[in-house]
Amino acid sequence: MRKLAWFAGSFAGAVFLAVYLLPEAVLLPAGACCTVGGLSGLFLKGDRRLRLLLVGFGLGAGLLWTGVYIALFHTPARLVAERTQTITARVTEWPEEESHWVEISFHQGEGWPLRALLWLETVPEDLRPGDELALTASFRLADTLSGTDSDYYYSKGITLLAYGEEEVQVTRPDRVPVWYWPAYVARAIRQSALRCFPDQVGPLVAALTTGDTSGLDGGFYSALRRTGTAHVVAVSGLHVSFLSGFLTALLGRRRRLSAAVGIALMFFFAAAAGNTPSVLRAAFMQSMLLLAPLVDREDDRATSLCTILMLLLIQNPYAAASISLQLSFASVAGIYLFTGPLCQRWQKCLPDKPKGFRARFGCLAFRFLTASLATTLGAIALTTPLTAYYFGSVSLISPLANLLTLWAVSDLFLGGLAVAVLGLLLPGLAGLLALPVSLAGEYLLWMVPRLAALPFAAVPAGSVYIVAWLALVYALLVAYLVLPGRKSLLLPAGLTVCALCWALLLQAGRYTGGQLTLSVLDVGQGLSTAVYSQGASALVDCGGSGLDDAGDTAADYFQALGLSRIDVVALTHYHTDHANGVARLLERMEVGLLILPDVEPEDPLRQSILALAEEKGVDTLLVADVTTLTLGGAELTIYPPLGAGDANEEGLSVLCTAGEFDALITGDMDEIIEGRLLKYGNLPDLEALVVGHHGSKYSTSEELLLAVRPELAVISVGYNTYGHPAPETLERLAAAGCQIYRTDWSGTITITSE
């Protein structure tokens, strides 16, 4: 009986319940009740008696400890929140370049130190971990993210956000405390990697070895996410297993030495990588694998996984809300559940003792390929639902991408780490050795974006057809593994592929079946409107404040329809919330024509967009008069700027027409410019209106609404401090009889004209 697994699993389950479902006030009473309930096992016999005791005590311990943790860390933080006071704090991490945020810890009274993120208007130069700061700051709880309740910061152990109000006094200690050494080592390795490797490969090596992705090109990181390979730059079990395997091979059969050196190095490596849940999980697990034979114990996977999860949650119960922790444990659990059975079935046909070189080589190659494929499928089996839920997409290219890239990741990680360490001592020699190691990095930089650019590389998880396909895939996988008898892989694989093709066709048909499809994309506080008509596509504006780059959001939308080209991209005006995603969009998609207002020739954003368009070979059209374009079965009428002065007043507006359907996009124009548009634009009655300026009270005037009488009104809005959408605007829309839709409530909103 797995005694530790029953207790640890119950403890972890209770913590997840406490974090996600149970109110704080009931944690201690509920924990006491579970503990008392566990004592009822004394009235049973045999395994049931012990199992009930372990489960009851585990649940009770998990709930009680979460309550105690809140009392130790969250309650003191609440006493500080909404106050301004002078503090003395320690810097705990290196500040990111060009960032105003600094991670600190400080004592409030005689309790445990509180961790906070400190915002400074000007971050002192050369600030480093261990430095002491004296300042006055205002505080608030770190319980929201972009205006929404979230445990994101709590999962990292950060309970407060602080805002510095005066000049900061910095005091540097004579000696750096020992617990900050890993951060210094990580920074030294990162800087060495950037020095030794070529410009593009260096940031990738730094990300693989230290987990610092700040130097990665945003387009490449987007490609990693789209191909399901972003885990390679989030230091985790993959990297720890590479390191452990290398040490085992290096030290040979000296198991005690391998265990001692390996465990010490892995935990130091985990500390250097920031002690994220995924890397700590991997360090604990590899340590158990190394220790098991030394203490004459077999490695029980369920016990190891549950115990490690319990240890991480003891450190911080709110780590249960960490996406990286959930993905890490789901990946390992999937490998444990599915990889072994899949390998056994696929390799059952191989002879035990192949004869001849060709037979032996063929068997070896087949075992390697099937093991790699089974491991990849096992890793994504349980992580796919999580990535679909958290990131809203399913990477269809992920199995192939992992097979094609993991060998290069292994070579680049081990070679890059060795070169970076050597670069600290012998930079000249390290620079020479970096040249052959860089080949693996160049391969990744070449391969990943090309896989990501394939149509249908990733598809939206919100589609009912994709959800149904995933359900079928899991049902076939379970049946293949559970049902007895010898079964061919061809039937389930064929059904999976056929069902996927149907799902993709049906999904694309939802957006391409009518005369015109207009989708207001969810880009946060910004605007990006996709238009599709009978094989032709357009995008009006491409900017926003969402967690994803607006260019990525737009490119994902079109590529999910099987498109690799956008015929027309029109920008209403030169503000970042309408245009900051253009650079990423042009990296990922071919664009036929770029339309811009012919105003503000000295505007830096206009100049950078024109320069990038010229670099990519994109035709540009600067609009100063009314322009009409044919888009498939629809027509785009682009109205020139009708005002002067502010960029909002000098913007374009776009009318999309298909048969009896008309939709108007006004950018950020105010009510005065709307009046001019009504006077000179000859606007028809509208079926859809993309509300101007994100619902500002100065736009979408009563005069406009009475003139065009829109049936639907879509507001593209995200978290903001401007009060968008304004109550006055919502009242005007309601009085005009509009059906109102908002991207901050409903996500991407799609309207299709039959």
Cα 515 to Cα 244: distance, rounded to the nearest angstrom: 58
For the residues 140-169, what does the mean pLDDT come to?
89
What letter represents residue 581's amino acid?
Answer: G
Cα 71 to Cα 558: distance, rounded to the nearest angstrom: 49
pLDDT in tens, 489-536: 777 888 888 998 898 888 888 777 778 999 999 999 999 999 999 889
pLDDT at 485: 65
- Look at strands 590-597 and 565-570 and give their pairing: parallel
Cα 43 to Cα 745: distance, rounded to the nearest angstrom: 52
Higher per-residue confidence, 318 vs 49? 318
* Range in 27-41, 531-545, 641-655 with the lowest mean pLDDT: 641-655
Cα 280 to Cα 173: distance, rounded to the nearest angstrom: 29
pLDDT at 628: 94
pLDDT in tens, 317-336: 999 998 888 888 888 888 88
Name the maximum alpha-carbon separation found in the chain: 88
pLDDT at 230: 83
pLDDT at 164 over 80: yes
Predicted model pTM: 0.86
pLDDT at 439: 95
pLDDT at 1 over 60: no
Share of the chain above pLDDT 90, in %: 48
Instruction: Give the mean pLDDT of the chain.
Output: 87
* Range in 139-143, 350-354, 513-517 with the lowest mean pLDDT: 350-354
pLDDT at 252: 60
Cα 259 to Cα 270: distance, rounded to the nearest angstrom: 16
For the residues 392-421, what does the mean pLDDT come to?
88
Mean pLDDT is highest, among 225-234, 498-507, 605-614, for 605-614
pLDDT at 248: 65
pLDDT at 62: 95
pLDDT at 651 over 70: yes
Residue 609 — φ and ψ, nearest 5°? -65, -45
pLDDT at 246 over 70: no
Helix axes 490-512, 464-482, angle to 10 degrees: 170
For the residues 48-71, what does the mean pLDDT come to?
92
pLDDT band at 743 (very low <50, low <70, confident <90, very high): very high
Structure tokens at 294: 């030394």
* Range in 289-298, 303-312, 344-353, 530-539 with the lowest mean pLDDT: 289-298
pLDDT at 247: 65
Cα 683 to Cα 569: distance, rounded to the nearest angstrom: 22
pLDDT band at 236 (very low <50, low <70, confident <90, very high): low
- Buried b / exposed e over 50-74, threshold 16 CB at 10 Å, is ebbbbbbbbbbbbbbbbbebbeebb
Residues 6+ apart with CB under 8 A from 176: 129, 130, 184
Cα 444 to Cα 205: distance, rounded to the nearest angstrom: 11
Sheet containing 688-690, strands listed edge to edge, beginning at the edge strand earlier in sequence = 627-631, 634-639, 653-658, 661-665, 688-690, 712-715, 739-742
pLDDT band at 596 (very low <50, low <70, confident <90, very high): very high
pLDDT at 316: 93
For the residues 668-677, what does the mean pLDDT come to?
92
